Structure 1
Amino acid sequence: MTDLLNDREYTLVDVNLSRTAEPGIVLFFRPVRYDEFTTTSGVSFPFPGEEKEGLLNEHDRQIDSDASRAVSRQRFVAFHDLYRDHGIHVQYR
Structure 2
Amino acid sequence: ELAIGSVRYETLRKLNNRQFAYLNKLNLEGRNLDDMIDEIAAGTLDWSGMAEVEHNLIYDLVRGIESWAADEDGVHDECWKAYERAKQALGEW
Q: Specify the TM-score bucket, using the shorter chain as the normaliser.
A: under 0.3
Tell which structure's C-alpha radius of gyration is larger.
Answer: 2
**Higher share of residues assigned strand:** 1
**Higher share of residues assigned helix:** 2
TM-score by length of 1: 0.26
TM-score by length of 2: 0.26
